[in-house]
A and B are shown apart, each in its own frame.
Chain A
Amino acid sequence: MITVENLTKSFQGVNALNGVTLDVQAGTVLGVVGPSGAGKSTLARCVALLERPDSGAIRVDGTDITSLDGSALRAARRQIGVVPQGDSLLRQRTAAGNIALPLESAGVPGPQRRSRVGELLDLVGLTDKAGAYPDQLSGGQRQRIAVARALAANPSVLLADEPTSALDPETTGSVLTVLDRARAELGVTVLVVTHDMGVVRKICDDVAVLEQGRVVEHGKVLDLVGDAGSRTSSALLPAVDLNPVNESSYDRVADVVLVGFAAVGALLPEVANRFGVELNIVGGGLTRLGETPVARFRLGLNGERSDSALEWISEAGGAVQRSLKGPQGVAA
């Protein structure tokens, strides 16, 4: 697991990082998002040990790695696999040769190196490309080789800076799948910097939103989507206000967020039954976060017990975000 504590970094008077604190639990994926210039790459470069922060700590399994030098620094670098932004493969080496580089740095002997490279090629699904040179690979394949290289020396942390920014949507999927497999099969802790909320949607357990060098939002994606005011929910959930709702035809209008198969599939019919209310979905829709179905609906309710129905929804695990009509903040 990795902890970032109060990290600051400035360049000639520009405060790129302004006291960044966040943590990533072992075996989870954190997405760091934020507008251009927010400090995402600076954070990534600090964690990658390419940049030294002005102050603060970065702990990997408890040990601060920000002030190391020499061989201790190189050893720490092996603990953190990095997928740099852009083309980073050696063009004069084959895919297999590129993956072997960290193993050579770590002094792993030849036969072991070859078998490890084989495992990694298998992990990223490019066994048949072992002997191909980067120029013979597609952008997505090159990026998957870069992931394999980052994982070669068995790091506990995998850091990727914009791993999909140069890729089309389909290829993006294959790279994200590989990152997800790394977490699932190798148990590495993943930190992925991206400007693409799609990456957060597909593979991130947690998200941290950076703005002007500060963390303005940090938590589990599935928790944050239940919070109407969060940037994460507005970025990831279906819009509820595409169609104007004729509010006069309902006793109550409210937005609810439902997370998980059970909630999405059964909660609304049950609540209609239980409270004898008429329940209409007047806006919003269904999406998926990772494997989890998540719905945000704008509901129009008719019936005497509409307030109780909304209350019950929130007790049953749905986040009732907003009552547009009727008493504000029902059980919110």
Chain B
Amino acid sequence: MRSATPWSDVVTYLVEATGETLYMVGVSTVIATVLGVPVGVWLQLTAKGGLRPNAAVHRVLSFVTDLGRSMPFIVLLVALTSVTRLIVGGSIGSTAVIVPLAVGAIPFVGRLVQNILSEVHVTVVEAAITTGASTLKIVRSVLIRESLPALINAIGVTVIALIGYSAMAGVIGGGGLGDLAIREGYQRFNDRILWSTVAWLAVLTTVIQLGFTRAARASDRRRHASV
């Protein structure tokens, strides 16, 4: 029996692990958004009834996307080791985790984005077409702007999902909250660290979720509906 870890040490652990998690998740979310939104747009443009329907391109893109989504993250994490080394110059640590996280999240974001964009009513899109707007203009001002609230929520969902995936980062020494709970808490039978981390993760994800919900609502002009 050893005495429980002092609370001050628990806090130090948590602060450090939170920093790592936010770093891994933050950067990979940005990358997944920057690359995943275009994938979603492309999926929707080439879909049947889209602005540039193209069955062949759509099918290939769909296949790759769904393949990426069905890949278990832990597999991606180890399978991408050499790619990771090529990109970040190493295959260990928080930065190294960003690569598989982002790669895993791109198809995830892509599908979410396509589903959201497909919800924009065809009359609204066709009305924009008849104004002589270019495809790029319609994508920006109609598809994306009209679904911005849902897109912001989708990014929120992605962040939460990535926090979950990042728990496996410990496998390649990425650290973070999940790793703290598993390695320091679970494997060393340190209940205080385990449950503090679990509680803190719950708080963190709730706050993040709330932040995205707020931002989504702030971007939504429909809330101004007559009172």
Contact = CB atoms under 8 A, between A and B. Distances in A.
A90 B146 contact: yes
Contacts of B3: none
Given A91-B221, A91-B222, A135-B226, A50 B129 contact: yes
A65 B158 CA distance: 46
Contacts of A74: 132-134
Contact of B222 (A76, A80, A135): A135
Contacts of B226: 135-136
A72 to B, nearest CB: 11
Contacts of A84: 123, 126-127, 130
Contacts of B145: 90, 92-93
Interface string B196-226: 0000000000000000000000011110111
Interface stretch (A13-21, A101-109, A298-306): A101-109
Given A88-B127, A92-B220, A135-B226, A102 B146 contact: no
A146 B127 contact: yes
A134 to B, nearest CB: 8
B220 to A, nearest CB: 7
A49 B124 contact: no
Contact count band on A: 35 or more
A48 to B, nearest CB: 5
B177 to A, nearest CB: 36
A175 to B, nearest CB: 16
Of the candidates B123, B127, B133, B222, the one having the most CB atoms from chain A within 10 angstroms of its own CB is: B127
Contacts of B131: 77-78, 101-102, 105, 149, 152-153
Contact of A133 (B141, B142, B224): B224
Nearest to B130: A82
A153 B219 CA distance: 28
A87 interface: yes
A89 interface: yes
A153 B132 contact: yes
B132 to A, nearest CB: 4
A136 B134 contact: no
A209 to B, nearest CB: 25
Nearest to A48: B130
Contacts of A76: 132
A86 B222 contact: no
A216 interface: no
Contacts of B137: 104-105
Interface in B56-99: none
Nearest to B219: A92
Nearest to B148: A92
B121 interface: yes
Of the candidates B137, B219, B221, the one having the most CB atoms from chain A within 10 angstroms of its own CB is: B221
Contacts of A88: 123-124, 126-127
A78 B222 contact: no
B224 A136 contact: yes
Contacts of B130: 48-50, 77, 80-82, 84, 150
A92 B124 contact: no
Contacts of A101: 128, 131, 133, 141
B160 to A, nearest CB: 25
Given A133-B221, A136-B226, A89 B124 contact: yes
Interface in A12-59: 48-50
Nearest to B127: A88
A135 B224 contact: yes
Of the candidates A49, A81, A85, A91, the one having the most CB atoms from chain B within 10 angstroms of its own CB is: A91
A136 B142 CA distance: 19
Contacts of A104: 133, 137, 141
A92 B221 contact: yes
Interface string A101-140: 1101110000000000000000000000000010110000
A75 interface: yes
Contacts of B220: 92
24 contacts: A48-B130, A76-B132, A77-B129, A80-B130, A82-B130, A84-B126, A87-B121, A88-B123, A88-B126, A89-B127, A90-B124, A90-B146, A91-B124, A91-B222, A92-B221, A93-B145, A101-B128, A101-B131, A104-B141, A133-B221, A135-B221, A135-B225, A136-B225, A152-B131
Given A78-B132, A106-B132, A135-B225, 19 more contacts: A50-B129, A77-B129, A77-B131, A78-B131, A84-B130, A88-B123, A88-B127, A90-B124, A90-B141, A90-B142, A90-B145, A92-B219, A101-B133, A102-B133, A105-B132, A105-B133, A149-B127, A150-B130, A153-B131
Interface of B: 121, 123-124, 126-134, 137, 141-142, 145-146, 148, 219-222, 224-226
6 pairs of A and B residues whose beta carbons are closest in the complex: A88-B127, A102-B131, A82-B130, A77-B132, A78-B132, A105-B133
